[in-house]
Amino acid sequence: MNSICFKKTADSWREALPIGNGRLGAMISGGQKKEVIQLNQDSIWYGSPINRINPEAKEHLSRIRSLIQEGRIPEAEKLMTYTLSGIPQSQRPYQTLGNIELTYYSQKGDVTGYHRRLDLDDGEVTESYQLHNNDNSIHIYKEYLASYPHGILAFHFCSSEGTISFDAILRRGRFYDHAGHLDNHTIFMDGSLGEGGISFFTAIRAEVTGGNVETLGEHLLIRNAREVNLYLSCETSFYSKDFKSLAVGKLDQASHDGFSCIRQKHQDDYKKLYHQVSLHLNGEENSFAETYFQFGRYLLISCSRPESLPANLQGIWNDSFAPAWDSKFTININTEMNYWPAEICGLSECHLPLFDHLLRMWKNGKQAAEEMYGCRGFVAHHNTDIWGDCAPQDLYVPASYWVMGGAWLATHIWTHYIYSGDTAFLKKMYPFMKDVVLFFHDFLIEDHGNLVTCPSVSPENTYILSNGTKGRVCAGSSIDTQILRDLLEDYMKASNILSIEDEYTKNTKRILEKLSPTKIGKYGQIMEWREDYDEAEPGHRHISQLYALHPSHQITPDRTPELAVAAGKTLERRLQYGGGHTGWSCAWIVNFYARLGNGNQAFKNLEKLWKQSTFPNMMDSHPRGNGAVFQIDGNFGATAAIAEMLIQADENRILLLPALPDKWKSGSVSGLCAPGGIQISLTWSDGKLTHGTLSSNHTQEVHLIYGKIKRSIAVTAGEQIDLAELMQA
């Protein structure tokens, strides 16, 4: 059974266990005398939508470009800071919803047999212990779950002696407007998140067996109960004008159905997603890898469901009113990384909130394109928020003025299509994709025979000019060109699927022919910029020039061997200087080594991530000041990397066990997905494939690679192919 277990209550948030249903999240710490359950709702963002576009941008764009092309980088950067930065500089922050605070009575005595566990198979947290007092032994058992079908959090507490007594209150610091009780078993808290911002309504209801429940003021009082069910709902004006009545209606439905029904529907819904993929690695030493892989899938199921917002920097588990980096959607890798495991790990529907948010960003991105750059189409920079703000964020030259955030996100449209085969989805998203492409039709400039972005950066790195000057802005960083190549090719393929050929597709084809190739530099590395500059920080956390290796498939060991060798040298150099020191960066490195077919190096960096960038509750840590904060992308990136060590696939082929480390000599995986609606299960022993199956939801030709063995097979829809015999030498 995959689970995360503690034998004590949480001493800090880093030991609490997460639950979530897409919109609502909670961190479960447990407790006998005092219990604090930290809460989140995905639309609790401070502030109203604002137009932050700098009115000086368009007027100064030509001058900025001239300064960059003349090599007057410090002048260009200063002018960009003045004229391109958003006004005000920051987008809106995500915030905690608050806490449920439970103060227990009659739970005195010694505690034995304590267990607090997140059961990944059921998607629930439980807490149990024995209380010993005056020769009495009382068993306490608690269940915590977040129900997607019911749209609530539900908790069930029971005692063998009918001694559950506690006071409950909802708290949100000073950041709420009203509190009180709706009836004799329901308390509430509500407020607005800044002038003109989102309004929220949160309520918690108690149902008891034995004992009694009443409300006084804003307190919920439970006395001498044998069993207690607590139901929490939170709705906001972001989703509904009638958010208060909607929240109360969900509590009414929960009271009517009861906890057993809620739990059953939750498990049926959750297991339908979670149990699509299983992983078993022989040897007790590999149990952590299994659990970590499935924990990443659990987190994605728990924080990204249809009709929710996409996962932000902390998913839906943020305990602060002023979190690190505002806990926004950082789109120069972090949000994209959140969705790397979605398709390959059987969670395609969890990808959908990202596309809903792209459509939410669309109008703002079109406005930014026209008012900042005088371009048609859509642009987004390196961050966005709940309102789909697309103007630059911060005054941070190495990141703020990057125009590729929306373009990178748009590549996920094609990825979802090739896995799902959903033509209706492609038709829906095609106009958006076209606008992303159209921006670059207008924005790119010609330089030394190539079409390049200008101004741009290579997130979030700094180079050194020959005279010792440090620079960040540039024309045509490697990642820009690599993302553009994917974006434009995806657009052309989508146009072909939809039988569209027009002036835009013709011009896109011409642009593709004028993009510069990925180049190798003086250290044998993949060049990060068009000039072979030295880096101010050779061990930088971003390794942007290797986008072409992962998540793209532009670099592969067999199709581009020289570039693959250079990619390996790039990684060696980064690691030599201390690279991979953040959780998400280390996870990206694991993906890189998987793509290079180096399973042992991939596993070595997985171990590094687990040891230096993982909290006790398995949630990813990111260094921040003198400490560390939770950042969810490392979890998702590592889950995707483990899958990539076992299968890799693009539209043209599938690689079986391409990066199996020596530590995983024997094992099995089932349910991993590949483009074309394909599912794959594999079993191996002593590092060799012993059994496997492949099935497809439609008839097609499939190209398989296992080591040096290559096979092409015709697969009929619904047919199951035996892979072990097929892939014999």
- What's the pLDDT tens digit per position in 71-128? 999 999 999 999 999 999 999 999 999 999 999 997 778 899 999 999 999 999 999 9
In this structure, what CATH number is given to the domain that contains residue 715? 2.60.40.1180
Q: Is the pLDDT of residue 236 over 80?
A: yes
Supply the pLDDT for residue 136.
81
Average pLDDT over residues 196-222: 97
Quick one: pLDDT band at residue 729, thresholds 50, 70, 90?
low
Q: At what angle do helices 423-443 and 352-373 cross, to 10 degrees?
A: 20
In this structure, what CATH number is given to the domain that contains residue 425? 1.50.10.10
Based on the domain organization, do 122 and 76 belong to the same domain?
A: no
Based on the domain organization, do 249 and 158 belong to the same domain?
A: yes
pLDDT above 70 coverage of the chain, percent: 100
Give the distance from CA 283 to its chain's centroid: 30
Average pLDDT over residues 188-217: 96
* Residue 639 in domain: no
Q: Is the pLDDT of residue 1 over 70?
A: no
Based on the domain organization, do 315 and 251 belong to the same domain?
A: no
CB 259 within 8 A of CB 229: yes
Pick the last residue of a domain from 275, 293, 316.
275
Pick the last residue of a domain from 563, 579, 595.
579
Could you give the number of structural domains in the chain? 3
For residue 578, count other CB atoms closer than 10 A to its CB.
12
Pick the last residue of a domain from 555, 579, 603.
579
Instruction: Find the distance separating the first CA and the last CA of the chain, reported in whole Å.
Output: 36
278-294 tens-digit pLDDT: 999 998 889 999 999 99
Based on the domain organization, do 135 and 20 belong to the same domain?
A: yes
* Residue 426 in domain: yes
Please give the Cα distance from 2 to 295 (Å, whole number).
8
Supply the pLDDT for residue 593.
98
Please give the Cα distance from 291 to 309 (Å, whole number).
26
* Residue 203 in domain: yes
CB 21 within 8 A of CB 151: yes
164-199 tens-digit pLDDT: 999 999 999 999 999 999 999 999 999 999 999 999
Q: Is the pLDDT of residue 162 over 80?
A: no
What's at 38, amino acid-wise? Q
* Residue 614 in domain: no
Q: Which of 40, 703, 646, 577 is nearest to 308 (CA)?
A: 40
Please give the Cα distance from 384 to 275 (Å, whole number).
33
Supply the pLDDT for residue 284.
85
Distances (CA, A) of 600 to 136, 621, 634, 659, 715: 54, 23, 19, 8, 33
Q: Is the pLDDT of residue 393 over 90?
A: yes
- Render 6-68 in DSSP notation, one character per residue: ESS--SSGGG-EEEE-SSEEEEE---SSEEEEEEEETT-B-S-------TTHHHHHHHHHHHH
Sequence-distant (6+) residues with CB within 8 A of 255 are 205, 207, 231
Supply the pLDDT for residue 311.
98
Supply the pLDDT for residue 109.
80
CB 196 within 8 A of CB 182: no
Please give the Cα distance from 473 to 83 (Å, whole number).
14
Supply the pLDDT for residue 711.
94
Alpha carbon dihedral 301, 302, 303, 308, in 10-degree steps, equals 80
374-390 tens-digit pLDDT: 999 999 999 999 999 99
- Output the average pLDDT for the chain: 96
CB 173 within 8 A of CB 191: no
Phi, psi of 455 (to 5 degrees): -80, 160
For residue 282, the 8-state DSSP code is S
27-42 tens-digit pLDDT: 999 999 999 999 999 9
Maximal CA-CA distance, the chain: 87
Sequence-distant (6+) residues with CB within 8 A of 641 are 587, 590, 591, 594, 602, 606
Q: Which of 721, 644, 718, 710 is nearest to 681 (CA)?
A: 721
Please give the Cα distance from 115 to 32 (Å, whole number).
12
Sequence-distant (6+) residues with CB within 8 A of 92 are 45, 46, 47, 326, 328, 385, 386, 387, 389
* Residue 109 in domain: yes
For residue 549, count other CB atoms closer than 10 A to its CB.
31
Please give the Cα distance from 83 to 105 (Å, whole number).
60
Quick one: pLDDT band at residue 207, thresholds 50, 70, 90?
very high
CB 655 within 8 A of CB 594: no
pTM: 0.97
Supply the pLDDT for residue 108.
77
* Nearest-5° Cα angle at 355, 349 to 359: 150
Based on the domain organization, do 311 and 460 belong to the same domain?
A: yes
* Residue 296 in domain: no
Based on the domain organization, do 255 and 341 belong to the same domain?
A: no
Domain that holds residue 702: 662-726
Based on the domain organization, do 543 and 677 belong to the same domain?
A: no
Based on the domain organization, do 518 and 539 belong to the same domain?
A: yes
Give the distance from CA 589 to its chain's centroid: 17
* Residue 192 in domain: yes
Supply the pLDDT for residue 537.
93
Supply the pLDDT for residue 626.
84
Helix (H) or strand (E) holding 431: helix 423-443
Based on the domain organization, do 136 and 175 belong to the same domain?
A: yes
- Alpha-carbon torsion (283, 287, 292, 298), positive or negative: positive
Based on the domain organization, do 142 and 8 belong to the same domain?
A: yes
CB 270 within 8 A of CB 122: yes
356-365 tens-digit pLDDT: 999 999 999 9
CB 611 within 8 A of CB 598: no
For residue 346, the 8-state DSSP code is T
pLDDT above 90 coverage of the chain, percent: 95
Based on the domain organization, do 240 and 326 belong to the same domain?
A: no
Quick one: pLDDT band at residue 143, thresholds 50, 70, 90?
very high
Quick one: pLDDT band at residue 163, thresholds 50, 70, 90?
confident
Based on the domain organization, do 78 and 105 belong to the same domain?
A: no
Give the three-state DSSP class for 510.
helix
Supply the pLDDT for residue 726.
83
Q: Which pair of structure tokens corresponds to residue 485?
A: 């190549």
* Residue 606 in domain: no
Average pLDDT over residues 616-630: 93
* Beta-sheet pairing, 654-656 with 700-706: parallel
